[in-house]
Amino acid sequence: MPQTTSLIETLKACLKAERKTYADVAKLLKLSEASVKRLFATEDFTLARLEAICQMLGMEMSDLVQKMNDSRHRLERLSPQQERELIEDIKLMIVTVCVFNRWTVQQMVATYTMTEPECVSKLVRLDQLKIIELLPQNRVKLLISPNFKWLENGPIQQFFRQTVGREFFDTDFQQAGECLMVLNGMFSATSSAEFQRRLERVAKEFNDLNDHDAALPFAERKGTTLVMAMRNWEYGLFSHMMRK
């Protein structure tokens, strides 16, 4: 990860830890909230603005750099064995997804059919896997990097394709909060690579908004899943019409 990106990711984590929002930053910098979101998306901060935000958080620029260096040791991937353990234990998988989305033990127990001791035992396992640090009173500190991703074609992605994918697409995508777009075109290799970079930026914005909304009351947040895919592919429906 480029150093600028890592520094901005660290700044966002610090804002979240202090329960500061983009609106708070906008007020400080005398900008609109939309402008602040663009600053974070483009990583186009002046030193003066960075210093002002650090002061709002009660720290120096050097503190931010130190936190960035510390965060580089965080987990960016699980091993295939760890991913397999998650999909083989549905309650462990549920707890993992919940802690990634900043749920508390109470919220998990209230939502899913597991007891508090069961939930805590899964948190203990995540602590052993170095995915979280389990703190007093069952509070959780995530040890994953802002860049965390599931393994490409690993057990989690395979599980999604084989099991979750069918359920995910079993809707007409007409309800509030649902959207389906299927596009077809003919790209050069250069355009294909550029569009994939843009999709990566969309994924980054998704994660940024998820982190931002973690400070909101639990009842105001709804589980949301985004699937993005791109490949060289022609409709099988037309295959019999193609010249050999």
Mean residue pLDDT across the chain: 85
What mean pLDDT is predicted for residues 136-145? 87
User: Which one has a higher pLDDT value, 227 or 117?
Assistant: 117
pLDDT band for position 142 (50/70/90)?
confident
pLDDT band for position 2 (50/70/90)?
low
What mean pLDDT is predicted for residues 150-167? 84
CATH architecture group of domain 3-71? Orthogonal Bundle (1.10)
Q: Quick one: DSSP state of residue 113?
A: S
pLDDT band for position 155 (50/70/90)?
very high
**How many angstroms separate the CA atoms of 17 and 28, rounded?**
18
pLDDT band for position 25 (50/70/90)?
very high
> Which CATH number is correct for 80-142, 1.10.10, 2.60.40, 3.40.1000, 1.20.58?
1.10.10
**How many angstroms separate the CA atoms of 219 and 73, rounded?**
33
Would you state the pLDDT for residue 29? 93
User: Which one has a higher pLDDT value, 210 or 122?
Assistant: 122
Report the sign of the C-alpha dihedral through residues 140, 141, 143, 149, in that order. positive
Would you state the pLDDT for residue 24? 93
Residue 240 pLDDT more than 60?
no
pLDDT band for position 235 (50/70/90)?
low
Would you state the pLDDT for residue 243? 56
Residue 174 pLDDT more than 60?
yes
Residue 166 pLDDT more than 80?
no
Would you state the pLDDT for residue 118? 94
Residues 6 or more apart whose CB falls under 8 angstroms from that of 147 comprise 1, 9, 76
Strand segments (E) across the chain: 132-134, 140-142
**How many angstroms separate the CA atoms of 110 and 92, rounded?**
16
**How many angstroms separate the CA atoms of 114 and 110, rounded?**
9
User: Which one has a higher pLDDT value, 107 or 183?
Assistant: 107
Q: Could you tell me the two tokens for 217?
A: 């009351």
The number of CA neighbours under 13 Å toward the Cβ of 11 is 25
**How many angstroms separate the CA atoms of 210 and 92, rounded?**
21
What mean pLDDT is predicted for residues 41-65? 90
**How many angstroms separate the CA atoms of 226 and 72, rounded?**
26
Contact, 147 vs 207, CB < 8 A? no
pLDDT band for position 73 (50/70/90)?
low
% of residues, the chain, pLDDT over 90: 26
Residue type, 5: T
H helix and E strand count, the chain: 12, 2
Q: Quick one: DSSP state of residue 18?
A: T
Other Cβ atoms less than 10 A from the Cβ of 137: the count is 6
**How many angstroms separate the CA atoms of 53 and 57, rounded?**
6
